[in-house]
Structure 1
C-alpha cells in the first residue's frame, strides 16, 4: 500500500511540476514594420521550447504591464499629437487570448513605460516626448479612469537629446509608497510619495537623485531584498547602484555597462536583477548589441563578469523567466527574441539556438499558466 501511495505522490509532484514549468510570454512591439500589435506565446521553462498562442492588434504597444491577478494587460500606445494612450486588454489564461476593452489618454506624447501598483488599483505611465508622467485609477472592470499628470521641467547638457524633460519609466517602490521616475532629459531620478488611496503623487521629502551630466537616466529596478536599487543610464552607458530606504536613494557605485576600451556610441536600454538577487544584467544597443553581466555582492556593489552578444540588432527590453533558467532578449531591429540559457551559479549566458520571430519586439512580460 505504501508503495502505491509513493507512486501516486510522485505522479502528483510530476503534474504539479509540469504546471509550474509553463508560462505565458507576452510581447509588446512597434507596429511600423511586420508587427500588428501584441503577441502571446507559451514557454516551457525547463526545456526552453516556445509555441505561438495568439495575438491582438494595437498601435505601437511598446511597453506592457499586467494586473497583479494577471486578468488584465495594460499596453502603452506610443504615439504623438495627443494620441498617446494606454490600452486595456482582458487576458484569458484558459486559451491565452487577449481581448481589447478600452483605452485612456496617457496625458502626454509617446508614452513608453507603464506599471501597475501592488494593489492593482493604479497605473503609472511615462510620457517620453511629453516630459510628464500620469497616474490613472483602475476601475472594477479593469478599465482606466482619467489621468492625473505631473509635468517635469528643465534640461541638461546635451542640447539635442536633453533639450527638455524626457520621462522614461515609472517604478513603484516595493512598499507601494513611492514612485521613482527616471528622466533622461534632466539627468534626475525624480521621487514622488504615492498614496494608494488617492493615487496623487507628491514630491518626496528628498525629491530627486541627480545623475552625472549627460548620463540620461532610463530604466530603474529594485533588488528582491527591497534594500537596493539600480538605474541604467542610456546615454552614459552605465549603472548607478543605490542603497534604498524610505523613499531615499544613497549612491554606492557607478559602473560602466561597456567593456574597458570601448569607443563606440553608448546606448543602453534595460536592466534587471536575477530572481535570486545574485546577478544583474543590462542591455547595450547598436553598435555594441550586448548584455552586460554583473555579480552582486552582499553590499549591493557590482562586479562586471562578462558581455554576451544578443544575436540581433538594437536589444531593448529583456526578461529572466520566473524560474531563473532562461534570459530572453528582444532585438527590435532584427525581428527576433533570442533565448539564452542562464547558469544560476555563474550568471553567464549561453545561446540555446532558439528564438522567436516577431516584428520589432520591444517588451517582454510573463504570466502564469492557468
Structure 2
C-alpha cells in the first residue's frame, strides 16, 4: 500500500521538501503487510501539512500552511504529481483541507486567523472562488484580538503579544463533511464545534456546540452510529457529540486521555470495526486507546501505550495496523492492533520520513 505524506519544509522549520511517498508492503494491496520505505519527494511544495483527495479524479489538494493557500495537484504517474493551477489564498496558517463527497467544493481551515473558507472545484479538479464563512465569536464573552493573531502567526509568543483570556483568538482547525450533508468545523481557540448547512453554494451557520473553556477542540471523527468524537488539544480529552431527535447537537459525555503535564492532543482515528478510538498525545508521545460502548454514545479508556516516535502528529488505522508519524523524530512506524483489546503491539516496522505531518492513502 502507498501513502502520500504531508510535511513541514524549511519555511516552517522542517526537513521535508514537499509531498512525499510512503511504501507500506506491496503497492497493489489494501493491507499494510510489509516493511515501510520512504520513496522521497513526488512534488516540491512549501509545507503541505495536510492532504485531501478528490473522490473521483486523480487529484489531491494540499494545505500550504505557511503560505496560507490551497494547491491542487494532478497525478502524472504512479509516484509523481504536478501542480494543477496556481495556489489559491485561503487565510493565515491554512492547516487543513476537506473535500466534499461530490467533489464540487472543498473547505480550508485556517489556524492563524480562524477562517473557514469554501472553494469551488471545477470538472478538472482545479480550485477557485474562495469565500469566507461567517467568523466565530467567543462564547465565553471575548472577541478575537486580530493584532494578537497576526503577531502570533509571525512568530511572537503569547506573552509578547499580550494574548490573555480576554483576547482569545479564533483558530479553525478542521472541517468534516457528514453523511447527511451537514458540515462540522472545530475552533480550538474558542472551544467550539460549529455545525453548518450548505445552502446555495455557501455555508449557513446552524448551531455551535460549546466545549469547556480552554479545552481546545482540534479534530473530530465520525462514527457509523451517528456520533461525533472530538479530541481536544489543550485539555487532552475526547468528547462525544450527537444530534438529539429535534436535530440540536449536544455533548453526551467525555473522557480524559491520561495525559501527562505539558501534553497536547493531536489526531483521533477510528478503528477498523468502530469498536475502538485512537488519540495521540504529543509530549509524553503516547497513544490513548478508547473503547466504544453502547450504541456509540459512550466511550471509556482501554489503554495508554508508547508510540515509539517523538511528537506523534498524525496516525491512521489500516485494517489491523496502526501507522504513526513522528514529526520531530522524522519517521513513520507500524504496529499491529490486537483485534480483541484494540491495543497496538510492538513496532514491527519503521522508516525515516522528514518532518511528517499527514498520511493520505493512494487510491
Scaled to the shorter chain, the TM-score interval is 0.7 to 0.9
Shift of 1:125: 0.7
Q: 1:98 aligns with which of 67, 71, 81?
A: 81
Distance 2:81 2:340 in 1: 37
TM-score (norm 1): 0.84
Q: How many residues of Structure 1 are paired with residues of Structure 2 in the alignment?
A: 330
SS at match of 2:172: coil
Q: Residue by residue, what CA displacement relative to the aligned partner does 1:219-258 show, whole Å, maximum 9, x if unpaired?
A: 0110134x11100110111010123468643222111011
Aligned to 2:6: 28
Aligned to 1:269: 266
2:51–2:96: 8 Å Cα contact kept in structure 1? yes
Aligned to 1:174: 179
Aligned to 2:227: 228
Aligned to 1:282: 279
Q: 1:190 aligns with which of 189, 194, 203?
A: 194
Structure 1 unaligned residues grouped into runs of 5+: 1-22
Distance 2:49 2:274 in 1: 27
SS at match of 2:86: strand
Shift of 1:103: 3.4
- Pairwise CA RMSD of aligned residues? 2.0
294-303 vs 326-335, greater mean Cα deviation: 294-303
Runs (4 or more) in structure 1 with deviation over 6 Å come to none
Distance 2:134 2:223 in 1: 28
Aligned to 2:35: 49
Shift of 1:168: 0.7
152-161 vs 127-136, greater mean Cα deviation: 152-161
1:187–1:214: 8 Å Cα contact kept in structure 2? yes
1:64–1:114: 8 Å Cα contact kept in structure 2? yes
Q: 1:135 aligns with which of 115, 118, 121?
A: 118
1:340–1:352: 8 Å Cα contact kept in structure 2? yes
1:170–1:182: 8 Å Cα contact kept in structure 2? yes
Aligned to 1:6: none
Shift of 1:151: 4.5
Shift of 1:201: 0.1
2:284 corresponds to 1:294: no
In the TM superposition, 1:56-67 aligns within 5 A as: 56-67=43-54
Distance 1:253 1:48 in 2: 39
1:220–1:230: 8 Å Cα contact kept in structure 2? yes
In the TM superposition, 1:101-180 aligns within 5 A as: 101-155=84-138, 159-160=163-164, 163-175=168-180, 177-180=181-184
Aligned to 2:204: 202
Shift of 1:366: 1.0
Q: 1:307 aligns with which of 301, 304, 308?
A: 304
Distance 2:91 2:300 in 1: 38
2:336–2:348: 8 Å Cα contact kept in structure 1? no
1:54–1:96: 8 Å Cα contact kept in structure 2? no
2:60 corresponds to 1:73: yes
Alpha carbons of 1:180 and 1:46: their partners in 2 closer, same or farther (altered >3 Å)? closer
Structure 2 unaligned residues grouped into runs of 5+: 26-30, 143-157
Distance 2:342 2:124 in 1: 41
Distance 1:336 1:109 in 2: 28
Shift of 1:46: 5.1
Shift of 1:54: 5.0
2:38–2:352: 8 Å Cα contact kept in structure 1? no
Aligned to 1:249: 249
Shift of 1:102: 2.4
